[in-house]
Structure 1
Amino acid sequence: MEGNRSHVVVVGGGIAGLTAAWYLRQGGEHVRVTVLDGAGRIGGKLHASEVAGLPVDTGAEAMLVRRPEGKDLARAIGLGEELRHPGTAQASILTRGALRPMPKGQVMGVPSDLAALASSGVLTPGGLARVPLDQILPATLVTTDVSVAAYIRARMGGEVVDRLIEPILGGVYAGRAEALSLDATMPRIAAVARSERSLLAAARKISEEAPKDAGPVFATLRRGMGSLPEAVAAASGAEIRTGVTVREMHRTERGWRLVAGPVPAPEVIEADAVVVAVPATAAGRLLAGEVPKAAAELSRIEYASMAVVTLAYPRAAFPRLPDGSGYLVPPVEGRPVKAATFSSVKWPHLAEADPDLIVLRCSIGRLGEESLLQRDDAELVALAMAETAEVAGVRGLPRDSRVTRWGGALPQYNVGHLDRVARIRAAIATQPGLAVCGAAYDGVGIPACIATARTAAARILDHLDPARQWQGRTETLSRGEDDGREPAAQGA
């Protein structure tokens, strides 16, 4: 502590760490915040760079609006006028040889309307005939967490899993329904699974209760979601240091001692409190010495890798403009591209910036497809070009292209994830002046990461000055009803 000022170190300069720093600084001038990140820039997976002269996101391109944390933070730091909404949210599924519309009324892929499911053509006649058996089958008892595939297959059959659930979960987590937790990835479905016999009826109830005029589902920023981290950092007033890797953390009588930098020339940093905002694997290494129970649980969270190939074509290359925002691809199709977004169609501000340009983003890679990602950039671009030529009829070469690789980017919320997170937090709670936040815990979407940052900041502020009610002050950005475990797909 310097005079009357407490020093808080945030390890990790992604959106969670930067937002934690911003919330900490809302606690007043008595808090000094330093953000340390081992990379050469802040922002983590939120980053934008130019493609054919337009700023296009390299990672997540949107945030859910039904959770207010993201848009409210943007407004609080002066980016309210930068918010943009999609021109269309109509997504398709590339299945059975054609682009087919996402069935109306689906809930994270779970159908609620048999007529809409039939008219979409997503399932084969046999697969379609299996779905209504859900209404007469005995109840499927769900007393503990199970995989998404196990429960939905038991109720509606394998085709719903293969051709509806898998592409959506692949877009969100780059994961597999056989391993992903029903409780963690589909909390609304999990809740009704414990009380309703029919999944179809439960999905219909969820769909009917959804607000009919809730406005746009997604939002982005005019210069891309990649512009958010820099704005948060500037608004926080924190000291931001990049290229500084924290290697060790040790508890002291007054707080924490961090060891950063290269082994031959270590830098020791003293802190009254620490927020660990790095991915689970790195967090586990940092906490192994002082909080071994949390570290052991963190080390068990698996991560998937992926790549985003961005292509910019002249408008004339398209025989006709795509109708929707993009499409998702089921793994059973055996295609390398798992999702594609027609960015210039989805986001009108991109089309307005250059009406003669069509920008597409193709997502490549799911869990277990690491060999696909070992191909060089030129090969990945060629795969994406072949995909757009086949599906959208694109002719000729793109004006520009970009390949962004995200190694170990997406945490897998496998069966038992919620219990694992509870054990991590219970272990962290034994350590005063320590908090964690980020995508590994309560949701991989931007609003969910912001919510974990708010919780972490409140814990630290309560520790530094328990006489003040910081918990209330750090909740000035309203909570949403949705818990953020159903973020926007990376593709469509």
Structure 2
Amino acid sequence: MVAPPHVVVIGGGIAGLAAAARLHEERSDVRITVLEGSPEIGGKLKLAEVGGVTLDVGAEAMLNRRPEAVSLARTSGLADAVVHPATITAHLWTRDELVAMPRTMMGIPTDLRALADSGVISKPGMARAAMDAVLPGTSLEGRDTSIGGLVEERFGKEVVDRLVEPLLGGVYAGHAREISARAAVPQVVALLDRDRSLGKAAARATSGPVSDVPVFAGIVGGVGRLPGAVAKVSGATITTDAPVRDLARRPDGGWNLVVGSADDPQLLQADAVIVATPARTTARLLSDVAPGAALELARIEYASVALVTMAFAARDFPSVDGSGFLVPPVEKRAIKAATFSFAKWDWVREAGAGEHGVVVMRCSLGRHREEHQLQASDEELVEIALTDLADAIGLSVRPIDTHVQRWGGGLPQYAVGHLDRVASIRQEISRLPGLEVCGAAYDGLGIPACIASAHLAVASLLADLPARV
């Protein structure tokens, strides 16, 4: 009897687990092993208890207007737990006050009249922003540019500083004038040939049937429940504390993996491998088998961030509007965003209710190449967040519990030319049947994008697998 093909997935984050689940769904005869170097699976999807409420201390929402994440949650047994935010009314903390966030597409204004009414942009800034409607069209045919550079060309510097920067800071923890427009807002770039105005292109990209669909979805109990649910349906053998130290091609086309500590290395053989680790780790593993791809992967920079989650006695917490606020970097504040989790998610509010009710919120700190701001103790980061919250919402009480989650090197930066870099990486890897890559370093940072990259890897892998076993 011929042994079933053995596929090893390196990395137990959501991309690696999604790859295992899709592989099992498509080929139930395949033996799947998932190797995770850390003590637990899940990657940036993580739960912790704060003030008696178990909730997310990593990603806490999934983009609902893409199907991959919600679909995976449902097929993994969490269909009844999928929910949408109670409110997603965001604010900007700008010029020492909280103002409602005007409608934008990743910071690109879609309604100049509403933008003027919001007060976010000064009168001179609005006069400059209005030039978008009359400037000659901007074409990115055959080239890439930063989203900040594109928006500044069309709307002026103030729109970049006050709108684009805080939004990109929330998504990438990066800088608008360095992040690729083609990678960050591909749907808008695709419409630039039809619309001379960037604002009209952005408005068109957010209109139509999709505008009636909730933007985000969550999971009762936290998005951090998703990795465990996916693992259960993946059919995979999952091993934690199992770092992969080396990856080598065998003469027969299979793969040898060296797994474990330097003191106790183990040899594992596989017919095919999916590498679902951060770019730097992937670069190290591919340095011998795909040196060109490894070099490009090593050039992808990452930002480090910290999330400070705090629980307060509900009776002492000030009244707030909306689901939270973003902070433009030009304000020179320490926090870059705050989320009122108890207002955003009904299940969080209900979990904190009781005789001594608590409300839970969180703040994020840290941007690309500003890691020095995170060189403080957990206690100091809490104090920094409280200081800013006192100024922003008038907070004057101490939390009853706190949790600081550091994501060192957690968010890849999609620099100008990112799509070409990814294409180059995949081109070299395509010459090695039985090897694929996926994760946040390639096609998007969000949970749906990571899952989509996993599905793409599996589809490519399956095209080669039957001929090799």
What TM-score bracket applies, with the shorter chain setting the length?
Answer: over 0.9
Assess, with a 3 A threshold, how the Cα gap between structure 1 residues 73 and 289 changes in structure 2: closer, same or farther. Answer: same
Q: Is the 8 A contact 1:318 1:393 kept in 2?
A: no
Structure 1, residues 58-97: CA drift from partner, whole Å, max 9, x if none? 1100001110111111111111011121100110111111
Assess, with a 3 A threshold, how the Cα gap between structure 1 residues 203 and 80 changes in structure 2: closer, same or farther. Answer: same
Structure 1, residues 222-264: CA drift from partner, whole Å, max 9, x if none? 1101111011111112111111110111001140000112223
2:349 matched residue in structure 1: 351
> What residue identity is the alignment partner of 1:69?
E
3-state SS in 2 of match to 1:79: helix
Question: 1: distance between equivalents of 2:81 and 2:135?
Answer: 50
Question: 1: distance between equivalents of 2:448 and 2:374?
Answer: 28
2:260 matched residue in structure 1: 261
3-state SS in 2 of match to 1:367: coil
Question: 2: distance between equivalents of 1:243 and 1:423?
Answer: 32
Deviates more, 1:188-197 or 1:163-172: 188-197
> What residue identity is the alignment partner of 1:283?
T
**1:196-235 to 2 correspondence within 5 Å?**
196-209=195-208, 211-214=210-213, 216-235=214-233
1:149 matched residue in structure 2: 148
1:49 matched residue in structure 2: 48
> What residue identity is the alignment partner of 2:111?
D
Structure 1, residues 329-378: CA drift from partner, whole Å, max 9, x if none? 11101011000000000001111122221111100000121110001111
- The answer to whether residue 335 in structure 2 is matched with residue 337 in structure 1 is yes
3-state SS in 2 of match to 1:465: helix
1:473 matched residue in structure 2: none
3-state SS in 2 of match to 1:360: strand
1:16 matched residue in structure 2: 15
Give the root-mean-square deviation of aligned CA atoms: 1.6
Unaligned runs of 5+ in 1: 468-492
Question: 2: distance between equivalents of 1:317 and 1:395?
Answer: 9
Structure 1, residues 112-154: CA drift from partner, whole Å, max 9, x if none? 2111001111111111111111222233343310011111101
Question: 2: distance between equivalents of 1:434 and 1:368?
Answer: 32
3-state SS in 1 of match to 2:54: strand
Quote the offset at 1:102 in angstroms.
Answer: 1.0
> What residue identity is the alignment partner of 1:169?
L
Question: 2: distance between equivalents of 1:3 and 1:48?
Answer: 42
Q: Is the 8 A contact 1:318 1:392 kept in 2?
A: no
**1:298-317 to 2 correspondence within 5 Å?**
298-317=297-316
- The answer to whether residue 326 in structure 2 is matched with residue 328 in structure 1 is yes
- The answer to whether residue 289 in structure 2 is matched with residue 286 in structure 1 is no
- The answer to whether residue 427 in structure 2 is matched with residue 426 in structure 1 is yes
> What residue identity is the alignment partner of 1:366?
R
Question: 2: distance between equivalents of 1:103 and 1:165?
Answer: 12
Quote the offset at 1:458 in angstroms.
Answer: 1.8
Q: Is the 8 A contact 2:317 2:397 kept in 1?
A: no
Quote the offset at 1:449 in angstroms.
Answer: 0.6
Assess, with a 3 A threshold, how the Cα gap between structure 1 residues 208 and 46 changes in structure 2: closer, same or farther. Answer: closer
Q: Is the 8 A contact 1:297 1:420 kept in 2?
A: yes
> What residue identity is the alignment partner of 2:351?
A
Question: 2: distance between equivalents of 1:241 and 1:270?
Answer: 15
2:35 matched residue in structure 1: 36
> What residue identity is the alignment partner of 2:383?
A
**1:378-397 to 2 correspondence within 5 Å?**
378-397=379-398
Question: 2: distance between equivalents of 1:302 and 1:32?
Answer: 34
Q: Is the 8 A contact 2:255 2:270 kept in 1?
A: yes
Question: 1: distance between equivalents of 2:405 and 2:314?
Answer: 23
Q: Is the 8 A contact 1:4 1:30 kept in 2?
A: no
1:4 matched residue in structure 2: 3
> What residue identity is the alignment partner of 1:369?
E
Deviates more, 1:372-381 or 1:350-359: 350-359
1:58 matched residue in structure 2: 57
Question: 1: distance between equivalents of 2:379 and 2:443?
Answer: 36
3-state SS in 1 of match to 2:238: strand
1:128 matched residue in structure 2: 126
Structure 1, residues 399-426: CA drift from partner, whole Å, max 9, x if none? 1000000000000011000000001111
> What residue identity is the alignment partner of 2:348?
L
2:165 matched residue in structure 1: 166
2:111 matched residue in structure 1: 113
Q: Is the 8 A contact 1:5 1:29 kept in 2?
A: no
Q: Is the 8 A contact 2:352 2:360 kept in 1?
A: no
TM-score (normalised: structure 2)? 0.96
Q: Is the 8 A contact 1:112 1:204 kept in 2?
A: yes
Aligned length: 464
> What residue identity is the alignment partner of 2:19?
A
Question: 2: distance between equivalents of 1:31 and 1:212?
Answer: 40
1:243 matched residue in structure 2: 241
Structure 1, residues 138-172: CA drift from partner, whole Å, max 9, x if none? 33343310011111101100011000000000000
1:461 matched residue in structure 2: 462
> What residue identity is the alignment partner of 2:48?
S
> What residue identity is the alignment partner of 1:330?
P
Question: 1: distance between equivalents of 2:318 and 2:289?
Answer: 61
> What residue identity is the alignment partner of 2:74?
R
> What residue identity is the alignment partner of 1:413?
Y
Question: 1: distance between equivalents of 2:204 and 2:47?
Answer: 39
> What residue identity is the alignment partner of 2:140?
V
Quote the offset at 1:326 in angstroms.
Answer: 0.5
Structure 1, residues 204-232: CA drift from partner, whole Å, max 9, x if none? 33344353422x21111111011110111
3-state SS in 2 of match to 1:142: coil
Quote the offset at 1:466 in angstroms.
Answer: 5.4
> What residue identity is the alignment partner of 1:36?
L
Assess, with a 3 A threshold, how the Cα gap between structure 1 residues 280 and 212 changes in structure 2: closer, same or farther. Answer: closer
3-state SS in 2 of match to 1:77: helix
Quote the offset at 1:21 in angstroms.
Answer: 0.8
